[in-house]
Amino acid sequence: MDALKVLLERRSIRKYRNVPVPDGVLEEILTAGLYAPSGLNLQPWYLVAVRSPEKMLQLRAIMSVVAMRFNPLLQERFHDHPEVITETNNFLVTLGGAPACILVFAHKRDDGDRDNVIESASAAIQNMQLAAWNRGIGSCWIGAPNHVDCGGLFEAAFAPGRGEFIAALTLGYPDEDPKAHKRKGGRYTFA
C-alpha cells in the first residue's frame, strides 16, 4: 500500500475478529518496530509478541487489574460520557478479542535521559501500527497501565530484567469500521 495512504487511513481498532495473525506477519510488524529511528541510535526496546491463547489469557488477567485501577480516572475525566467509560473499560478487560498483542519494554538510560527512551520506543510503536495496517491488521496503542502504576505487572510476567514497560499494542483483523476522529486544523504553518 502507498505509505501516505496507510498512515492517513490507520485508525485505532478496539474490536477484532477471532482470526489469528500469522507469525510471519507478526515478524514483519516486529521488524518494522526494530527499524524505527532512536535517539543516539540506542535502539532501547525489547518487544514481546504475545499470541498463544494461554498467554493472551494471562495478559487479559493483568489488564483486568489495570481496568479496575483505571476506572476512577475514567469516572473523573468522562463523567458526562458514560458510554466512553463503559467502552474503555470493556476494551481493557477483553482487549476487544484481539488474538495478539505486542508488549513494548525499554531500557532506561544510565544517565537518566528517560525521554530519549520513551520517544524512541514510541517511534517503534507507530512503525508497528503502520506496518500492521499495511497488512490489513488493526491495532490499538494502550498506555493506560503506566497511568496506574501497573507496568511492573507486565515486566514480571513477560519480560523480567528487560526494561521498563512502555505500552501494549493489540493486533488483529478489524471487526469494526471506526470513523476518523476529526483532526484539529490550524496546527501547522509555513515559515
Ligand X SMILES: Cc1cc2nc3c(=O)[nH]c(=O)nc-3n(C[C@H](O)[C@H](O)[C@H](O)COP(=O)(O)O)c2cc1C
What residues between 57 and 116 interact with ligand X by CB under 6 A?
88, 91
In angstroms, give the least distance from the CB of 109 to ligand X: 20
Q: Name the residue nearer to ligand X (CB basis): 78 or 141.
A: 141
Q: Are 44 and 120 in contact (CB under 8 A)?
A: yes
Q: Does 141 bind ligand X (CB under 6 A)?
A: yes
The values of phi and psi at residue 142, to 5°, are -115, 110
- C-beta of 38 vs 88, nearer to ligand X: 88
Question: What are 30's three cell numbers?
Answer: 516486529
Site string for ligand X, 144-183 (x = CB under 6 A): x------------------------------------x--
Residue 86 Cβ vs ligand X, minimum distance, rounded to whole Å: 12
- Cβ count within 10 A of residue 136: 10
Residues 71, 119, 47, 177, CA torsion sign:
positive
Options 27-35, 47-55, 101-109, 142-150: segment touching ligand X (CB under 6 A):
142-150
* d(C-alpha 149, C-alpha 126), whole Å: 23
Angle at 35 between CA 129 and CA 127, to 5 degrees: 15
Residues near ligand X (CB under 6 A):
11-12, 88, 91, 140-144, 181
